[in-house]
Chains A and B, each alone.
Chain A
Amino acid sequence: GAVVSQHPSWVICKSGTSVKIECRSLDFQATTMFWYRQFPKQSLMLMATSNEGSKATYEQGVEKDKFLINHASLTLSTLTVTSAHPEDSSFYICSARDLRENQPQHFGDGTRLSIL
């Protein structure tokens, strides 16, 4: 069964709207979660690393004021796309790392964001 839950799975909204995406680890604690973006027919691109109780670490070229990340608990991280525009339309995927030894990252099902 799913170990990482991501909601919503699909969002369509008008330009200028802010959209919040939630990522929850269901049966393990995740001090670190990752947010990825994937454009059609392209590879995963890491946007930021979300750390529980501290500021997220953003990859080069990712605007931290536009993509707000909050990791308030050991099982929940949120990504808010502020004032979204059509170029922000993409597939956003979160993953969480199980800290127990030799465990992979588990991915959420992704959020397809379409900005009109």
Chain B
Amino acid sequence: GQNIDQPTEMTATEGAIVQINCTYQTSGFNGLFWYQQHAGEAPTFLSYNVLDGLEEKGRFSSFLSRSKGYSYLLLKELQMKDSASYLCAAMDSNYQLIWGAGTKLIIKP
């Protein structure tokens, strides 16, 4: 079956670095997406990886290893506004997104 696993909750300190891991199993693969969702709001797109390696975009970076079915989202210089849920989603061979349950990130001062 198709499955996405990511931690339920993580806590980090303002100014620090945090890595949110995601493992996936899908029927075919057309890329891995990360979305950010603040409470009561719709998700917003953060990153997309389809090739192995690291994609850096400002304070956020995303990594993909297709052979391992593994991705991570790296957040640097954490700010209080980064407190949110981070959703990992893999696109299968039918271009359907398979969603993880999300990782709630709590930032402490």
CB neighbors of B among A29-52 (8 A): 32, 34, 42-44, 46, 49
Residues of B in contact (CB 8 Å), total 19
A44 touches B43 (CB 8 A): yes
Contacts of A85 in B (CB 8 A): none
Q: Which of A13-21, A65-73, A76-84, A102-110 contacts B (4 or more CB under 8 A)?
A: A102-110
Q: Which of A6, A42, A46, A107 contacts B43, CB < 8 Å? A: A107
3 closest Cβ contacts across the A-B interface?
A: A43-B101, A107-B42, A110-B42
Q: Which of A6, A44, A107 contacts B44, CB < 8 Å? A: A107
Which of A46, A104, A110: most chain B Cβ within 10 A? Answer: A104
Q: Which of B31, B41, B96, B101 contacts A110, CB < 8 Å? A: B41
A43 touches B100 (CB 8 A): yes
Docked pose: A105 CA to B31 CA in angstroms: 12
CB of A93 closer than 8 Å to a CB of B: yes
- Chain A residue nearest to B96 in the complex (CB): A49
Given known A-B contacts A93-B42, A102-B31, A109-B41, A44 and B87 have beta carbons under 8 A apart: yes
- Chain A residue nearest to B44 in the complex (CB): A107
- Chain B residue nearest to A45 in the complex (CB): B99
B50 touches A43 (CB 8 A): no
B42 touches A104 (CB 8 A): no
A46 touches B48 (CB 8 A): no
A43 touches B102 (CB 8 A): yes
B50 touches A102 (CB 8 A): yes
Docked pose: A106 CA to B56 CA in angstroms: 21
B87 touches A102 (CB 8 A): no
